Structure 1
Amino acid sequence: MTPALEQLQKALKQLPGVGYRSAERIALHLLVEKPERLPQLVTALEAAARSVRRCTVCGNLAEEEHCAICADEKRRIGQVCVVENVQDLAALERSGAYRGRYHVLHGKLSPIRGVAPEDLNLATLIARVESGELTELILALSNDVEGEATCHYLTDRLPKAGLKITRIGFGLPSGGGVLYADAVTLKSALEGRRNY
C-alpha cells in the first residue's frame, strides 16, 4: 500500500459509518475501478466547502444567509420545531407532516461527552423566542436521557410568556431518534405532541 493510498483511507475512515474495510473499498473504487469519478468528487467537495454554511436564523445548511425553509414565506412563522441535527430536519421534511420553521441545535447536552449549552446553537434560538414572534416551540429531540436533559434545559431557560412548548413523543420508541423513524411514525409523533 502506498503512503498516499493509506492517507486517503485514513481520511475516509474518519467519516461517520465508514470503517476500515469500507474506507479501503471506497479508496480502491475511486483510484482503480472508477478513477474518472475522482476529479468530479474533489470538485464537488471543494465547492460545498466554499459555499455551504449554516443559516443565520435556524442553523440549517444554506448557500445564502438564510436557508430555503427560512426564506419560504408560506411556512408558519410562529411555529418552530427544534431538532438535534440537519438529518433530523431532513427526516421531518420528508414526512410532509410539518409546515412550520425549524431550529437546528447541532447536538444535545451530554456532560459525559463534554457537550455543554455553549456548544449548541442556543443563542439564536433564545433570540428568536425573545423576539416575541414565536407562538409554539415543538421539541423534536431524541427520546433518550440526553434528549430529555436538553428539553428540560430549554424549558427552564426559555422565556415562556405567550409561548406554547410541546414535545413530540407518541410513536417514537424509547431511545430512538427522529432520523430513523419512518414518515408515518413522524407524522403521528407530530400530531400527538403534548405540552411540556
Structure 2
Amino acid sequence: MTLSLWLTIAPLIMLLSLGPGPNNFTAMHNGMQYGAVPAVIAVFGRNLAFSILMLVSALGLGAIIVSSVFWFGVIKWLGVVYLFYIGVKTWRSAATALQEHESENGVRAKSNHLARMRQEFLVAISNPKAILLFTAIFPQMLDLTQPVPMQFLWIGVTFCVTECIAAYVYALGGKQIRRLIKKPSGMKNLNRGMGGVFVLASIFLATATRS
C-alpha cells in the first residue's frame, strides 16, 4: 500500500471508528467507572474480535455469513441478547458503584482488566454490522493493482489503532461526565441512562439487515 493511498483511507477509517456504537458506549461506560486508561486497555479485547472478523472476511467467509440468513441471524441475536443483558446489568448497578473505585487522586481502576477486555470482545464479536463493514466497505479501499493481503493487513492495523483512539475519546467523555456526578443519586441516574443506551443499542441491532 502506497503512502498516498494510506493517507487517503486513514481519515475515513478514523471516522468509522469514531461513530457511536455498542463498543464505544462500552468504552464510555468504562471511562466513567474506572478511568480512560483502563477503558483503552479493554480495547485489546475489541481489537482481537475485530481481527478475527477481518480474517474471516479476508478468507471470503464473511461474504458467506452476510449472504446466509441463518448465520447472520445467529450472530445478530447473540449480540441483541448480550447488549440487552449489559443494559439491564448497568441499570441495576448500585448508586455507590463509582465511589468504591475512587481515591484521593481520582479513579483507581479495578485490577480485573481481563473482565473488561472480555466484555469488549463479546460486544464486538457478536455484532454482524462489523462483518458487513469488513466485507463490503474495506475491499473498496484496496488498490487491486497491488498485492491485496498486505493492503488488507495495513487497513486492519490502521483500524485497530483508530479503535484505540476512538475508545480513548469516548472514555475521556465518560470521565468528564463522571466528574459532574457528586451524589449517589446522580450515579444511579447515570447508570440507568447508560443502561438505557445499551438496551436501545440492542433494539437497533435487532433491526439490522444484511443490506
TM class by shorter chain equals under 0.3
**Higher RCO by CA contacts (8 Å cutoff, separation 6 or greater):** 2
**Pair member with larger Rg:** 1
More strand by share: 1
